[in-house]
Amino acid sequence: MNFNDSQEFADENISIAKGKDGFALENYFYRSDVIYQRELSEIIFKSWFYACHISEIPQNGDYKTVEVGEDSLIIARDKTGNISASANTCRHRGARVCTQKKGNAKSFICPYHAWVYEVNGKLIGARSMGEDFNKDDYRLKKINTHIFEGMVFINCDPEAADFKLATDKLIPAISPYHLGNAKVAATRSYPIDANWKLVIENYLECYHCGPSHKEYAKSHTLRDEASKVAHLNEAMKKKALEEMGFQPQFVAEVTNQYLNSPVFGCDISHLRYALYEKYKTGSLDGQPLAPLMGDFKGYDGGAGDFQFGPLTFMLNYPDHCVLYRFLPRGLKESEMELVWFVNGDAVEGKDYDTDRLIELWDFTTKEDKFIITQNNQGVNSSFYEPGPYSPVFESLCNNFIRWYLEVIGEI
Residue 263 reports pLDDT greater than 90: yes
CA distance 120 to 118: 5
DSSP 398: H
CA atoms of 242 and 292, how far apart (whole Å): 18
The rounded radius of gyration (Å) of the Cα atoms in the chain is 22
CA dihedral sign of residues 249, 253, 259, 265 = positive
pLDDT digits (tens, 9 = 90+) for 319-357: 999 999 999 999 999 999 999 999 999 999 999 999 999
Give the mean model confidence (pLDDT) for residues 106-117. Answer: 98
What confidence category does residue 2 fall into, taking pLDDT thresholds of 50, 70 and 90? low
Rounded CA gap, 290 and 44, in Å?
A: 34
Inter-residue contact 387 to 379 (CB < 8 Å): no
Indicate the residue type of 391: P
> Rounded mean pLDDT of 300-307?
98
Question: At 411, is the pLDDT very low, low, confident or very high (cuts 50, 70, 90)?
Answer: low
Q: Can you list the positions of beta strands (E) in 214-264?
A: 254-256
Reported as type and span, the H/E element at residue 235 is helix 230-242
* Domain ranges, ordered by start, for the chain: 51-155, 164-408
The answer for residues whose C-beta is within 8 angstroms of residue 87's C-beta and 6 or more apart is 71, 72, 73, 74, 140, 141, 143, 156
Give yes or no for a contact between 48 and 266, defined as CB atoms under 8 angstroms apart. Answer: yes
CATH of domain 164-408: 3.90.380.10
**Helix or strand run (H / E) with residue 363:** helix 354-379
User: Can you say how many angstroms the Cα of residue 13 is from the centroid of all Cα atoms in its chain?
Assistant: 28
Percentage of the chain with pLDDT > 90? 99
d(CA 180, CA 83): 14
Q: What is the mean pLDDT of residues 357-382?
A: 97
Domain 51-155, classified CATH 2.102.10.10, yes or no? yes
Whether this prediction's pTM lies above 0.75 is answered by yes
Element of type H or E holding 11: helix 7-18
* Exposure of 367 in the CB half-sphere (CA atoms within 13 A): 17
Residue pLDDT, tens place only, 117-138: 999 999 999 999 999 999 999 9
Q: Kindly report the length of the chain.
A: 411
- Please give the biggest Cα pair distance in the chain: 75
DSSP one-letter string for 311-323:
TEEEEE-SS-EEE
Average pLDDT, integer, range 385-410: 96
Number of DSSP helices (H) and strands (E) in the chain, helices first: 11, 17
What are the residue ranges of helices labelled H in 69-212?
A: 164-167, 171-174, 196-204, 209-212
Q: How far is CA 214 from CA 71, 211, 373, in A?
A: 37, 7, 19
